[in-house]
Amino acid sequence: MSRLRAASPGDVPEDVAQHLATCERCQERVLFGPVRRQRPRREMPPMPSSTRALVLLALMAAVIVVFFVTLQTLIRRL
């Protein structure tokens, strides 16, 4: 690692360049430093409860029924 840092860009020793080309761990160390911080994992949102899902389904069905009743009323007035 010290030989890589001491070298100027494009003037890395051949053996170091070959190793770096094949070693993923060393590539990460060169790019991100000796200790790479892990990003915190995003938590998945909780699944809705079955009661919530049924209430939402009933609400959507009620809205559809109201829509068709209103549409029928408008058609009769024409």
What is the rounded distance in angstroms from the CA atom of residue 1 to the CA atom of residue 34? 10
41 lies in some domain: no
The first and second tokens of residue 47, run together, are: 């699944």
Region of 37 please: left (phi>0), alpha (psi -120 to 50) or beta. beta
54 lies in some domain: no
What is the rounded distance in angstroms from the CA atom of residue 72 to the CA atom of residue 21? 72
20 lies in some domain: yes
The first and second tokens of residue 48, run together, are: 């809705």
15 lies in some domain: yes
51 lies in some domain: no
How many independent structural domains does the chain possess? 1
24 lies in some domain: yes
Q: Which domain holds residue 21?
A: 2-32
Q: Give the pLDDT band of residue 44 (cuts 50, 70, 90).
A: confident
What is the rounded distance in angstroms from the CA atom of residue 74 to the CA atom of residue 72? 5
39 lies in some domain: no
12 lies in some domain: yes
pLDDT in tens, 6-41: 777 778 888 888 888 898 888 888 888 777 677 777
The first and second tokens of residue 54, run together, are: 């049924």
